[in-house]
Amino acid sequence: MAKIIRTGALTGTVSEEVRVECETTNGLPAMIIVGLPNKSIDESKERVRSALSNSGLQFPKKRITMNLAPADLPKFGSSFDLPLAISILQQSKQIDINTSDCMFFGELSLNGDIRPIKGILSHLLMSKSKGVKKVYIPYLNSPAASLVEGLEIYSFKTLGELVEVINEVKPYFDSKQSSTYFEQSSIIQPREIVEFDDIHGQEQAKRCMQIVAAGGHNIIMSGPPGTGKSMLAKALVSVLPGMTKNEIIEATNLHSIAGIVGGGQIVNSRPVRTPHHTSSHISIIGGGRNPLPGEISLAHRGVLFLDEMPEYTRQVLETLRQPLEDRKIHIARSEGRVTFPADFMLVATQNPCPCGYFGDNLKECTCTPHMINQYGRKISGPLLDRIDLAVTVSRVDNRKLIENSKRTKTSTRELRKSINDARKIQELRFGSTEKLNSSMSNRDIGKHALIRQDAMDLFDKAATQLRLSSRSYIKVIRVSRTIADLESSASIEQKHIAEALQYRFKDR
């Protein structure tokens, strides 16, 4: 009778339950794996054989048939090694365990060590949804696994230790760690530490970044080289609120699936992704034969920074249109469809022309009118329509830089406090810390915008004169709502509408 071990297969960011069926028959010794495995799973036969032998266990000298059900679900990765080995051990009666409420995940080395795997959080969340009580995982995956509650998690370093615990040769040592994992095993995104206190002048740009951080909006900054656009983008992270536990789980899982963090590391700071302008559209949106998250998904709950946006290819820029609208990306391939989350803040910069000095008061622009016009048209109108704020970052006089270094009007501490207060208002409004003003639907606007009549009259006149599209019209309301929240105003007033309109991207 075939023995069944439960495990999971990754499909995008979701784990699907897989049942490993094992049957041994008389015949020439061989191990056959069926059920749509890829090359990595087919090679697990040799890893399992060596791991069993080097762990003091017997590999049956029979014909072993392994089926991964459902057979029509594509399966890849090395996480099937441990369930395959456990299935063989159970079939050959070397272990005796009721596996109906258990799941196994892990990669085996040739000497029997259990190595960490990618996407452990997806597997654990699936196990929890299936009503599983016990999950057996690699020891190095236990820090990340500590984020998931409601499961009995058993972690092991070697296959021999796991078998000894199952056979009750020795008791299981509970190595469950405390919440110090959030600090000790976390990975901080490598980046230069910049705060708004380090930026002198540019008060209007700082105000825009305050609105961006408070409402989760997208922004594009335009200006000559060396005016502080990149510093403003880097300083944005210093005023963003900390991540919630759900956001930590989402970010850690995506980085784990992409192979950026180790099996036991936790991403507990907001991710900042800065892809180079030569990056392909696949690396930006994700994909591949076995689809992996791209830069927009790795920036989920964080910031995607595109420096000199017009230098990116048109194909890359146009792929951002749907994620900016839906906050997720759908990838269709011949072998199936996957969906990755992509809820990020887009921070982009651009020069006003190819040489960068059009409109500058110190250096003369060397570009022709045709070159300036073509450079500006590299970013399409529909894409710009999805960017909430646009601000010009002008050059600051060198003397003022020295004077401002002694006294900064806008401090990081003040910005952080006002942003946190505005976020708390939105949390009460939407009943969630994950939904912000930037993602308000038309229904939300009708319920929560609360625009005063005089402000509405002003807005209607401005919308008619400026010929705002429907998307731009809604966008101005969202930004106005955030400005009102920063002032703790229950309703949107004329001054909020007027300020939001001034951050609108000017027509070419």
Q: Which long-range contacts link 176-179 to residues 24+ away (Cβ below 8 Å)?
A: 176/142, 176/146, 177/142, 177/143, 177/146, 179/146
Domains, the chain, with CATH or none: 3-183 (3.30.230.10), 196-411 (3.40.50.300), 440-508 (1.10.8.60)
Is it true that the peptide bond before 70 is cis, omega within 30 degrees of 0? yes
Tokens of 106: 């892990």
The confidence score (pLDDT) of residue 408 equals 56
Enumerate residues 6+ apart whose C-beta is below 8 A from 105: 7, 8, 79, 82, 83, 117, 120, 123, 135, 136, 137, 138, 141
Q: Are 217 and 388 in contact (CB under 8 A)?
A: yes
Tokens of 141: 């995956």
Pairing of strands 152-156, 134-138: parallel
Tell me how far apart the 2 most distant CA atoms of the chain are, in Å. Answer: 89
The confidence score (pLDDT) of residue 67 equals 96
Q: Are 266 and 144 in contact (CB under 8 A)?
A: yes
d(C-alpha 183, C-alpha 325), whole Å? 34
d(C-alpha 416, C-alpha 240), whole Å? 7
The confidence score (pLDDT) of residue 2 equals 78
Report residue 350: phi and psi, to 5°. -155, 150
- Unique residue bearing structure tokens 């006089």: 397
- Ranges of residues in the chain whose predicted pLDDT is under 70: 1, 174-192, 335, 398-410, 506-508
Q: Taking the CB of residue 311, how many other CB atoms lie within 10 A of it?
A: 16
Residues in a beta bridge with 273: 304
Residues in a beta bridge with 104: 136
Whole-angstrom distance between the N-terminal and C-terminal Cα of the chain?
Answer: 73
Nearest to 155 by CA among 169, 142, 170: 142
Q: Taking the CB of residue 382, how many other CB atoms lie within 10 A of it?
A: 13
The confidence score (pLDDT) of residue 170 equals 87
- Unique residue bearing structure tokens 């998904």: 297
The confidence score (pLDDT) of residue 206 equals 92
Q: Are 104 and 5 in contact (CB under 8 A)?
A: yes
d(C-alpha 129, C-alpha 124), whole Å? 9
d(C-alpha 206, C-alpha 238), whole Å? 12
The confidence score (pLDDT) of residue 507 equals 54
Nearest to 168 by CA among 95, 272, 250: 95
Alpha helices per DSSP H over 119-244: 120-129, 142-145, 159-166, 181-184, 203-215, 229-235
3-state DSSP call for residue 133?
A: coil
Nearest to 24 by CA among 83, 93, 79: 93
Tokens of 255: 């980085």
- Residue 420: burial class (beta carbons within 10 Å; 0-12, 13-18, 19+): middle
